[in-house]
Structure 1
Amino acid sequence: MLSLLGDILTLGIGVAISPLAIVAVILMATSGKGRTNGTAFVLGCYTLAVLLVGALVLIGRASGSDEADSGANITVDALEILLGVGLLALAVHQWSKRSEVEPPKWLMGLDQLTIGKAFLLGVLLSGPLSPKDVPLLIAASGRISQAHLPAQEVIPVILLFGLIGISAVAVPWLISVIAPGSVERRLTGARSWLLANHSVVMTVLFVILGFKLIGSGIADLAG
């Protein structure tokens, strides 16, 4: 189980580094809604990651992807390479947008969200609205489904992977819960930096993770 966690750790960190999601939590925290909307948002991110990865792992294992020479196993490796190529394409696209400094309009309306909408936003930003997270979650699902582990060990791996994936957004949320009086002082600088450098951060992340997935997929197919 530990070797599998080590294998998917990079993917989990890649999911965690989501500048706009982090900024969203910071804005909720600095508006005084970190304990309510911030909590719902983080739970939304976690729920999507765990349910999506869990469902894909279930499908993969049912099709025999944990058998080394099976067609399903080879398909997972080929898909991983394709996802890596997709991330490299996203890197090129993101780099072309690096001069855009205007934050998304939806960030400005976060203080009007209800708890339910904050939860839904967390689900959307960690899934359908994220060009990065869905490929990474699919790749992690493939890795987990290929592992020769009993079901009782696979479930904790999925839950732990989900926690790794929300680790970055959990930091400003924790600050808003533990020390709400110092939220503005501690998080304003980070919010400004993330908004200003979002495209560059995402470009670098896409390149690193893209080559990671391509390399892992090729190594598995060759081995």
Structure 2
Amino acid sequence: MNLQVLPLAITMMAGPQIMTAIVLVTTPKAVRSSLAFLAGVAISASVGVAIARGVFSLLGHGVSLGKSSDNSSVGHIVQYVLVALLLAAIVRNYVKRATIEPPKWLGSLMEAGPGRAFKTGLLLILLMPSDIVVMLTVGANLEQNHAGFGSAAVFIAATVLVAALPLLMLLVFRQRAERVMPGVREWMNSHSWLINIICCLIFILLILK
């Protein structure tokens, strides 16, 4: 697998995904719930990449994205459309920043146990549009390089590692993290519009790279 797709692991967890991980480390069952969430993320990312790999394997050479040097190729046109949509999303988030709030289900996770945390990790990756695009990108990369699903292990591990950062901070800086994380959670809740913009910018940079 082309290592250039590894930064996409950051995009996989950008937005509500990493916010979920931060919320879970502030719950009464922080460690157990966080581990369950990570298990859900690992399974959903693996299943998503496997499905994407299968889709592009079935398509085979039936769809040509064109040469990378051809600016008018279908691949580049898709990239331009994605960038335009992301720029529109940035403008929308900035204009409506005073009214944009994080998803309501995010706040309800404060009482979540391991079971719900696992389900959240499982569904969040498989149903998030940005994550679907990322997994399709990885699947296409595997097909173009004639690589099997095993080659995506590094990408999946990187995604889980990003998701595990709040838990790792809790385990390493126990008392300090317990004091800091609630404040981080509240800041992210009140600045969800800014987080959305940052996520869009990261995705644009990865597309144009």
TM class, shorter-chain normalised? 0.7 to 0.9
- How far off its partner does 1:8 sit? 0.5
Give me the whole-angstrom Cα distance separating, in 2, the residues matched to 1:146 and 1:34.
41
- How far off its partner does 1:41 sit? 1.2
Give me the whole-angstrom Cα distance separating, in 2, the residues matched to 1:126 and 1:203.
19
Amino acid at match of 1:132: S
Aligned 1:30-179 pairs, distance under 5 A: 30-64=26-60, 70-74=61-65, 77=75, 80-81=78-79, 82-100=81-99, 102-128=101-127, 130-149=128-147, 151=148, 154-155=149-150, 157-179=151-173
Residues 78-119 of structure 1: per-residue CA shift (max 9 Å, x gap): 685354444344334333332236443223321332322211
Q: Does the Cα contact within 8 Å between 1:31 and 1:111 map onto a contact in 2?
A: yes
| Percent of residue pairs bearing the same amino acid type | 25
Give the TM-score normalised by structure 1: 0.74
Amino acid at match of 1:143: N
Residues 50-87 of structure 1: per-residue CA shift (max 9 Å, x gap): 211111112212432xxxxx333428836853544443
Structure 2, unmatched stretches of 5+, are: 67-73
Give the TM-score normalised by structure 2: 0.78
RMSD: 2.8
Change (3 A) 1:45 1:85: farther
Change (3 A) 1:89 1:50: farther
Give me the whole-angstrom Cα distance separating, in 2, the residues matched to 1:90 and 1:123.
26
Q: Which residue of 2 aligns with 1:183?
A: 177
SS of match in other structure, 2:191 = helix
